[in-house]
A and B are shown apart, each in its own frame.
Chain A
Amino acid sequence: MAGSILLIVSYASVVVFLAAVLCRAVKISRMPIHLRWELYPVAHEKGRVSYGGSYLEEPDWWTKPRHQSLFGQLRVMIPEILFLAAVWEHNRKQWFRSFPFHIGLYLAAGLIGLLLLGGVATAAGFTVSPDAGLLAAALYHLTYLLGYAALGLGLIGAAALLARRTFETDYAEYTKKADYFNLVFFIVTFAVALAAHAVADPHFVVLRGYFARLVTFDFSSANSALAMPTGLSILEIALASILVAYIPLTHMSHFFIKWFTYHGVRWGDEPNMPGSKIEQQVNEVLQYPVSWSASHIRGDGKKTWADVATSGVEEEEDEK
């Protein structure tokens, strides 16, 4: 029974995670086109990114092809995503706390991948053990090595962040009670998981068995080949599942929101060329009704942005 409830919690967490990410992404994507607000350097600007230049440096730029570089984007994105390059460059003290935490989370995501792989292999009848061939042995060893690294680094990072937010006034003043809760949640989850593996599952075998059940939707407790988690392992799985569901419900969803802030705003330098999709979108939003109340606008909910923009202040004053 407990095992079934645990499986349901895990499935629910995946559903909540995916739904929350999708919901946020759709909500942001559906917002109307905004005015350009790019910030240089723009990473895809081929040949100019090293000094932050743009295609606007070209005489008669509108008559020339724009040269964009995917490689240039990746050269910025990969160090930013993997190593938190901006924090390293601009806030080194924070990096020493934030990087272990984030790399711990990345490794934890990698651990889930290995456990899924191991779970699928187990469910398919393969044995994942140190003496079951090269690949199986590699998967066996890599899983627990990655697991301890993920949990250890995540715990150290979260504790360091909590300490800073608690003891440094500048940080404490900006830290909400929910932020403390979030960090404590991480710390408890990582600590429980470490304890669970130290005490009951040193090589993550039980966890791999649990993933085998997950991927096969195996709610029966009769499968003796797959040991059901017990005690601390149950707590580990429950906490981790709830955490996975919780993250995208908070501002911590910045892990994927960065795509919008970078690609949609900071690097959003696409010009409005005649007859383009952008021009069409702009023409649509110019028809939105305005209800700003100041006397130089006097939006009544009927006047559109196009009306406001093409009327002069003197006309507004005359209406008064």
Chain B
Amino acid sequence: MKKRIKIEDISKPSEKLSELRKEDFKPLPAPFDTPESTPDFAPLSEKSLESYESSLDDTIALSLPKPKDKAEEDELVAKFLSGLQKLFTKENNWTFLQPLVLSMDYCASCHTCSDACHIYEASGKNPIYRPAYRSEVFRRLYKKHVKSKGGLLQAWRDGEIELNWTTVARLAELSYRCNLCRRCAQTCPIGVDNALIAHEIRKLFSQEMGIAAKELHESGSVLQLKVGSSTGMNKAVVKDNIEFIDEDVSEMTGMTVETPWDKAGADVLLIHNAGEIMAWPMNPGAFAVIFESAGLSWTMSSEIAGYDSINYGVWYDDAQFARVAIKHAEAAKKLGVKKIVLGECGHAHKALTVIADRVLTGDLNIPRESAMVTLDDLIFSGRIKVDPSRNDFPVTLHDPCNLVRLMGIVEPQRRILRKIAPRFREMHPHGVDNYCCGGGSGFAIMSGHNFNDWRHQIAGRKKLEQILNAFKDELDPSIHKYICAPCSNCKGQIRDLITYYDLWEKHSILYDGLVELIVNCMTDVKPGFIEWEMH
């Protein structure tokens, strides 16, 4: 029988609040239908257990060092409390105050959100992964320490909670057990948003206490603002890399491709997730082929952040988010382009198009468009000629949450796939009802300790199930199959899922973006752009 965990248990010191056992996880379809058929969930090392806070569950996302003594614990708790109070002031949190207060004050605890959460479902309904668990802990802290002064009536009305270091440390980790996909929010009858609450908890830790996932902050937004990209590529390196890519792509396609840099007055500034340039070079290469072939007036920018669309701040820190968004807009402003087109990166789409919409004013408010829309327009206006028979293999589409549920860009990519991929089939559910790949909110780039196991066995489990089901009649390894994932982070997560479960070797399931599929069937380039090799 599974252990029951109450809200107030989060404050009670123990070795672990919840245990993760493979046999509890939601069963997968064949051939992964027994616990033995999936990789083991590695235990945390002795060193990790000794050095870092790990009393939430069997993994670590944050690497939060253990305080040396009670005095340090108290100091951290006091900082948390100070951040909690700031989070509910308009000066410090105008960015999300209204949605946050609405979500804090009006939950009816009806649990309608629970079944929508892929993490809760995949874990075998582990009580601490219920979307409302984290929110309820935070809600009780807010009601006790911000809305009132505590007391018996307050506890009677809002429930018991104790604020101590155990609560704070577990809550910090727990805010990184949510992909921020907002599927739960979509089902809430009242409009309460548990993902927003997770987002705001992350912000409190980052903005007040300087606690954030290293991959998102130090090696993420900080590095991007310093050198131009979270990949570490500076201006010279990125230009070199793109030059190599242009050469490779020219050779593969038979077209002469040369990516324009810093072309003032171009119509379009194309910004990729720079991870594409490093990990999936054929993606920026394919964009160049399409844009050149269509005769677009376009350019890339070598300004700081102008060649890397990522904006990790959107997951944990408003200040970092705003800084990066402004850098993106400044790069476009400097070149005097008519619009920014965002390459295949979901969170970059949402960050710059939707969320930064209320940060960028005046001449920084340069129009932003999704590459899905630009590509759809190029193909259906006839500027790109395609031969769908070159894509005669099973294709399914992964919907990046940021692009679809959070931006409403649903049809352009489907219209393209229906035209260019004769064996396209949907995952179920799809579109705005899709499931997150499990890499959302930064998890795709987080793999410290044994977080990889958590990410693939829990966060990515539902997506794995969807992929297997989409290809269930063609799992034979002699049939090449393609998961189209038009988002860099989703692609990273899907690549890691494929590797973790050996899907390429066993079932010939490969992945890549949308532009690779387009170039693969363009009539004015040589056939065979997609190379059926695991990468």
Q: Which residues of B contact A58 (CB under 8 A)?
A: 373
CA distance A33 to B83 in the complex (A): 21
Q: Which residues of A contact B365 (CB under 8 A)?
A: 272, 274, 279
A291 to chain B, nearest CB (A): 6
Q: Given A54-B407, A179-B109, are A35 and B359 neighbors across the interface (CB < 8 Å)?
A: yes
Q: Which residues of A contact B105 (CB under 8 A)?
A: 251, 257
A40 touches B410 (CB 8 A): yes
Q: Given A176-B159, A282-B358, A291-B86, are A40 and B406 neighbors across the interface (CB < 8 Å)?
A: yes
B206 to chain A, nearest CB (A): 6
Check: A11 CB closer than 8 A to any chain B CB: no
B262 to chain A, nearest CB (A): 21
Contacting B407 at CB < 8 Å: which of A51, A56, A253, A254? A56
Within 8 A of A (CB), among B79-119: 79, 82-83, 86, 90-92, 94-99, 101-103, 105-112, 114-116
Check: A221 CB closer than 8 A to any chain B CB: no
Q: Given A94-B112, A174-B132, A288-B90, are A266 and B191 neighbors across the interface (CB < 8 Å)?
A: yes
Contacting B367 at CB < 8 Å: which of A60, A169, A283? A60
Segment among B64-72, B315-323, B466-474, B524-532 that sits at the interface with chain A = B315-323
CA distance A58 to B376 in the complex (A): 10
Count chain A CB atoms within 10 A of each CB in B111, B116, B210, B320 and give the residue with the most.
B111
B7: nearest residue on chain A (CB-CB)? A173
Query: How many chain-A residues does the 8 Å CB contact rule pick out?
Result: 86
A261 touches B360 (CB 8 A): no
A265 touches B99 (CB 8 A): yes
Q: Which residues of B contact A258 (CB under 8 A)?
A: 190-191
Chain B contact patch, size range: 35 or more
CA distance A301 to B405 in the complex (A): 36
Q: Which residues of B contact A286 (CB under 8 A)?
A: 359, 361
B359 touches A282 (CB 8 A): yes
Segment among A84-92, A116-124, A143-151 that sits at the interface with chain B = A84-92
A146 to chain B, nearest CB (A): 25
Interface of B is mostly: helix
Contacting A57 at CB < 8 Å: which of B95, B109, B355, B410? B410
Check: A202 CB closer than 8 A to any chain B CB: no
Check: B475 CB closer than 8 A to any chain A CB: no
Contacting A173 at CB < 8 Å: which of B6, B361, B374? B6
A91: nearest residue on chain B (CB-CB)? B112
A312 touches B7 (CB 8 A): no
Check: B441 CB closer than 8 A to any chain A CB: no
B107 touches A39 (CB 8 A): no
Contacting B97 at CB < 8 Å: which of A32, A279, A283? A32
Q: Which residues of B contact A110 (CB under 8 A)?
A: none
Report the number of A-B residue pairs with Cβ-Cβ less than 8 Å: 271
Check: B339 CB closer than 8 A to any chain A CB: yes
B416 to chain A, nearest CB (A): 12
CA distance A290 to B203 in the complex (A): 14
CA distance A55 to B97 in the complex (A): 26
Check: B343 CB closer than 8 A to any chain A CB: no
Q: Which residues of B contact A38 (CB under 8 A)?
A: 354, 406, 408
Segment among A12-20, A129-137, A229-237, A292-300 that sits at the interface with chain B = A292-300
A123 to chain B, nearest CB (A): 38
Contacting B116 at CB < 8 Å: which of A90, A178, A295? A90
Closest 3 CB pairs of A and B: A261-B191, A54-B408, A52-B432
> What are 24 A-B pairs at a CB distance below 8 A?
A31-B97, A32-B90, A35-B96, A35-B358, A38-B406, A39-B186, A39-B406, A40-B410, A40-B432, A48-B411, A56-B407, A56-B408, A57-B410, A59-B374, A60-B339, A173-B4, A176-B156, A177-B156, A178-B156, A254-B190, A257-B102, A265-B193, A266-B191, A293-B209
Known: A56-B354, A91-B115; 12 extra A-B contacts, CB below 8 A, are A34-B358, A53-B411, A61-B369, A90-B116, A261-B106, A261-B191, A282-B361, A292-B207, A293-B208, A294-B210, A297-B319, A310-B326
Which A residues lie at the B interface, using CB under 8 A? 28, 31-42, 45, 48, 51-62, 80, 84, 86-87, 89-91, 94, 98, 169-171, 173-179, 251, 253-254, 257-258, 260-262, 264-266, 269, 271-272, 274, 278-279, 282-283, 285-286, 288-297, 299, 305, 308-314
